[in-house]
Amino acid sequence: MEALHLAKILLWGLFLHRCIVSVDSAVGVNWGTLSSHKLPPAVVVDLMRENKIGKVKLFDADPDVLRALKGSGIAVMVGIPNELLAVLASSIAASDLWVSQNVSRFMVKGGVDIRYVAVGNEPFLSSYQGRYQSLVLPAMLNIQQSLARANLGGYIKLVVPCNADAYQSASVPSQGVFRPELTQIMTQLVSFLNSNGSPFVVNIYPFLSLYQSADFPQDYAFFEGSSHPVVDGQNVYYNAFDGNFDTLVAALSKIGYGQMPIAIGEVGWPTEGAPCANVTAARAFNQGLISHILSNKGTPLRPGIPPVDIYLFSLLDEEQKSLLPGNFERHWGIYSFDGQAKYPLNLGLGNGWLKNAKNVPYLPSRWCVADPSQDITVVTNHMKLACSVADCTTLYFGGSCNAIGDKGNISYAFNSYYQLQKQDSRSCDFDGIGMITFLDPSVGDCRFLVGINDNNSSCTGCGIFCGLWMMALWVIIYLRVMSSL
């Protein structure tokens, strides 16, 4: 038995060593799945490998996604949604179950190289009004204990992706501090991260600064230099990314952790949905960012020390994301929903320009458009119906299909709905106004999509997983009730 145990340890060590030496890239990607046109996970993993992308950040622990990542050599960050923080913070049994179902069973020889677990996603966001604030540390402590019991505590690091609104400055980066109501919890959090060798993960979006303020200098959002630099004593900032990064460095210094490693959990630029969101701007920002990071210049407060990791947001467009932030929210991908590169981009991984996804299981090449022989003056309600379900954000101001005319707008809306319904012929009726065509109606940069046949991408195991979670929740509720009697 001892010999068998030793053999398992050696095999596990070889697996970890293989993964450690195979992934050394600085640039990774966020892989979100809020889309009704999902690429099969295996196609996405092949896309990342083809582009030599060695790091990926997930927002949950989808078993289909993790199965596809087995043996890929890609270093993975799995996420715990904010909605699970309460149960994980209150029950070590629930924490053990989560680790068992979402981490341990994938960490086998030839399995998934999970490096990080993200406990929540921007849980300190000011708009949450403190809803998750008291849950983060207890959940982290429980997950850490569960990882230790699974003999993974020394390899997998816990992190908490934070929005940049967790810190602030009156004017210049050196005056950066954490929000007053977060100072105590951030001190505790950073102490925990530091003691476990984890970086501070922050999401930085210069695009949002430009989008939200008409007074924000446009050239300051990019990396070609600015005619409106920020002067901070002897330090001069020529781009918003460095200024934001050093504001965090200053905030960390004020709580005693000025040397804390920092990773960028999300950063990017959308291609549609706002006047400043377009392909040209997205390419300029992302290419400038990558060149800036890989130059190892660092920032004025950390010269020669770039972030330890950086995850572009995002790999693919997600047309099911909420539009509350703006129409641009569905267009952050460096690839469209079907894995086709939107613009030439060199990730600095020795692979040249982005390569497109292969073996995409498209639906047949047919589209739904407005019948030119029909009266289109009565389509208002039909368009509202189609766009209430399908994504029509490209038709609005700042979108690539904004200038295709009324008939084009109607056809685009009809087709988006038709593809969402997997090309069901009934979904192209619209009271006789719609018609199916085999001629691509795309106009210039306005692309009429063809959906993806994802019937084979089932979630085997999801029912079991959900059932186990329900069992865990009922056990917790039962124990609480019994303890109160």
Nearest-angstrom CA–CA distance, 204 and 313: 10
Find out whether 410 and 379 touch, Cβ atoms under 8 Å: yes
Minimal CA–CA distance to 386: which of 418, 408, 364?
A: 418
Minimal CA–CA distance to 316: which of 299, 330, 296?
A: 330
Nearest-angstrom CA–CA distance, 44 and 398: 28
Catalytic residue among 83, 181, 224, 266: 266
Find out whether 268 and 213 touch, Cβ atoms under 8 Å: no
Residue-wise burial string across 424-459, b where 16 or more C-beta atoms lie within 10 A, e elsewhere: eeebbbbeebbbbbeeebbbeebbbbbbbbbeebee
Catalytic residue among 2, 83, 122, 224: 122
Which residue type does 304 have? G
- Residues with Cβ within 8 Å of 119's Cβ and at least 6 positions away in sequence, in order, are 80, 85, 136, 139, 140, 143, 158, 159, 160
Secondary structure (3-state) at 154: coil
DSSP character string of 48-82: HHHTT--EEEESS--HHHHHHHTTS--EEEEEE-G
2 is catalytic: no
Nearest-angstrom CA–CA distance, 286 and 267: 9
122 is catalytic: yes
Sign of CA dihedral 211, 212, 215, 216: negative
User: Within the chain, what is the greatest distance between any pair of CA atoms?
Assistant: 81
Find out whether 337 and 33 touch, Cβ atoms under 8 Å: no
Catalytic machinery residues: 122, 266
